[in-house]
């Protein structure tokens, strides 16, 4: 197609440039705030989009809808067979490509992913203590995560970001140690407020550590300066149309930036530029959406690119102004985070 993409606009004027693609709902960990010990009823293979189907949807998103960045996630995206090849095919379409992973297996694949065209990686790590890691994730794999982080950095997947979800009474005493660890290794630390997206429906607001609390703890250790998004050192995402989910602070006198993603207490819906595709080809206009559009049915029913573009635009046109986590009528979506793609 030779024409320029037409922006993917919603009725509030938000331009959508960022696509999150879940490549699998499966995972090799069982983080307590994400899924139960026994795992979930994984999608049958036939329901999961093939590589060709994922690539076709990303191509439509880039060529027709102006998507500029693609984040691959899951479940655990490193479990997807042939991931470097898929990354290569997506990167060849032109968007910035990043990956959110638990880091297990990254030590083996970081170089291949970088060579395939992956730009950046976010690695989830909620604690530095092996015993605690095993309790949170229900797997004794922290050494693999440390190795994955080091390999990602050595491979040039910069900046390597470390994501942690602090939970009261579980790991909230490690906010400063995690940030110090990131600082010492040249990673970027990001803390995420826990959200009501666990498969068990057991989220409890009282165990969520809020952005204010996180910043208070960090502020006692360092002097924090709010980051200016447009400062050359702070790296604005190419094509970024909305508000980045992480509010960022620089440690005074350094180049080190710490981010906090406060979806619950400081919602950033007004600047949202994200759209999500699940592993089984359902398009979601919000992490908290309770309805989806079945792009897989269109793909498999022989729809042409124009028809798929239309369905995509219609989904975004229905996007609401924001999530309702803080309202009494909030309804937790049926799909948990691991099946939507965080
Ligand atoms: N498995 C990969 C990982 O853990 O990075 C990618 C998928 S995971 C669902 C993406 C991110 O969502 C992780 O950083 C994880 O910590 C976060 N997450 C999972 N459940 C969450 C919840 N209930 N609230 C906030 N963040 C959550
Ligand atoms: Fe797996 Fe990521 Fe969920 Fe942990 S947060 S169980 S690593 S999908």
Nearest CA to ligand 2 atom 3: 34
Q: Which residues sit with their C-beta closer than 6 Å to ligand 2?
A: 27, 29-31, 34-35, 74-76, 102, 124, 338
Enumerate the β-bridge partners of residue 82: none
Give the integer Cα–Cα distance in Å for 96 and 79. Answer: 21
Mean per-residue pLDDT, 152-163: 96
Assigned CATH for 18-340: 3.20.20.70
Lowest mean pLDDT among 53-62, 152-161, 221-230: 221-230
Centroid of ligand 1 to alpha carbon of 342 (angstroms): 5
Proximal ligand: closest to the CA of 103: 1
Atom index in ligand 1 nearest the CA of residue 126 equals: 16
Percent of the chain at pLDDT exceeding 70: 94
Residue nearest to atom 4 of ligand 2 (CA): 31
* CB proximity list for 204: less than 8 A, separation 6 or greater: none
On whether the CB atoms of residues 165 and 209 are closer than 8 A, the answer is no
- Check whether 324 has a pLDDT greater than 80: no
- Ligand 1: centre distance to CA 276 (Å): 15
| Ligand 1 atom nearest residue 193's Cα | 25
Ligand 2 atom at shortest distance from the alpha carbon of 28:
1
Q: Mean pLDDT throughout 95-100?
A: 98
Q: Show me where the domains of the chain are located.
A: 18-340
The strand pair at 293-294 and 96-101 is best described as: unpaired
Highest mean pLDDT among 101-115, 245-259, 279-293, 322-336: 101-115
Query: Which of 21, 34, 133, 201 is the best mutation target for the ligand 1 pocket, counting ligand atoms within 8 Å of the beta carbon and taking the most?
Result: 34
Query: Does a cis peptide bond (omega within 30 degrees of 0) precede residue 159?
Result: yes
Q: Which atom of ligand 1 is nearest to the CA of 29?
A: 1
176-229: pLDDT as tens digits: 999 999 999 999 999 999 988 787 888 888 899 999 999 999 999 999 999 976
Q: Mark residue 138 as left, alpha or beta (left: phi above 0; alpha: psi -120 to 50; beta: remaining).
A: left
- Does residue 12 register a pLDDT over 60? yes
Helix (H, G, I), strand (E, B) or coil at 172: helix
C-alpha of residue 329 to centroid of ligand 1, in Å = 24
**What pLDDT score was predicted for residue 240?**
45
Q: 234-253: buried (b, 16+ CB within 10 Å) or exposed (e) per residue?
A: eeebeebbbebbbbbbbbee
pLDDT tier at 1 (50, 70, 90 boundaries)? low
Indicate whether 89 pLDDT > 90.
yes
Give the pLDDT confidence of 264-278 residue by residue, as tens digits.
888 778 889 999 999
Q: Which residues lie with the beta carbon below 6 Å from any ligand 1 atom?
A: 27, 33-34, 73-74, 76, 100-102, 124, 163, 165, 192, 194-195, 197-198, 337-338, 342
Q: What is the mean pLDDT of the chain?
A: 91
Atom number in ligand 2 closest to CA 100: 2
4 by Cβ neighbours in 10 Å (0-12 / 13-18 / 19+) ranks as: exposed
């Amino acid at each position: 197609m030779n024409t320029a993409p037409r922006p993917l606009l919603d009725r509030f004027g938000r331009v959508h440039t960022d696509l999150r693609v879940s490549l699998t709902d499966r995972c090799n960990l069982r983080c307590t705030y994400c899924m139960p010990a026994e795992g979930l009823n994984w999608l049958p293979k036939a329901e999961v989009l093939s590589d060709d189907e994922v690539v076709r949807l990303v191509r439509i998103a880039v060529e027709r809808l102006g998507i500029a960045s693609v984040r691959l996630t899951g479940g655990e995206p490193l479990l997807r067979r042939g991931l470097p090849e898929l990354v290569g095919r997506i990167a060849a379409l032109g968007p910035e490509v990043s990956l959110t992973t638990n880091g297990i297996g990254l030590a083996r694949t970081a170089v291949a992913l970088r060579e395939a065209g992956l730009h950046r990686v976010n690695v989830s790590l909620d604690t530095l203590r092996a015993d605690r890691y095993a309790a949170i994730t229900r797997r004794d794999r922290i050494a693999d995560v440390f190795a994955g982080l080091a390999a990602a950095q050595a491979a040039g997947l910069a900046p390597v970001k470390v994501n942690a979800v602090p939970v009261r009474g579980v790991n909230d005493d490690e906010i400063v140690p995690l940030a110090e660890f990131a600082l010492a290794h040249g990673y970027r630390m990001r803390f995420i407020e826990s959200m009501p997206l666990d498969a068990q429906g057991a989220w409890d607001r009282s165990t969520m550590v809020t952005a204010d609390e996180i910043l208070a703890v960090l502020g006692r250790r360092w002097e924090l300066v709010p980051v200016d998004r447009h400062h050359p050192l702070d790296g604005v995402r190419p094509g970024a149309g909305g508000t980045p989910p992480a509010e960022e602070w620089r440690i005074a006198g350094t180049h080190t930036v710490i981010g906090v993603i406060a979806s619950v207490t400081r919602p950033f819906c007004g600047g949202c530029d994200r759209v999500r595709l699940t592993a089984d080809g359902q398009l979601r206009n919000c992490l908290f959406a309770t309805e989806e559009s079945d792009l897989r049915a269109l793909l498999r029913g022989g729809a042409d690119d124009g028809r798929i573009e239309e369905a995509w635009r219609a989904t975004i046109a229905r996007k609401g102004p924001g999530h309702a986590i803080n309202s009494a009528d909030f309804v937790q979506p049926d799909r948990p985070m691991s099946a939507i793609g965080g």
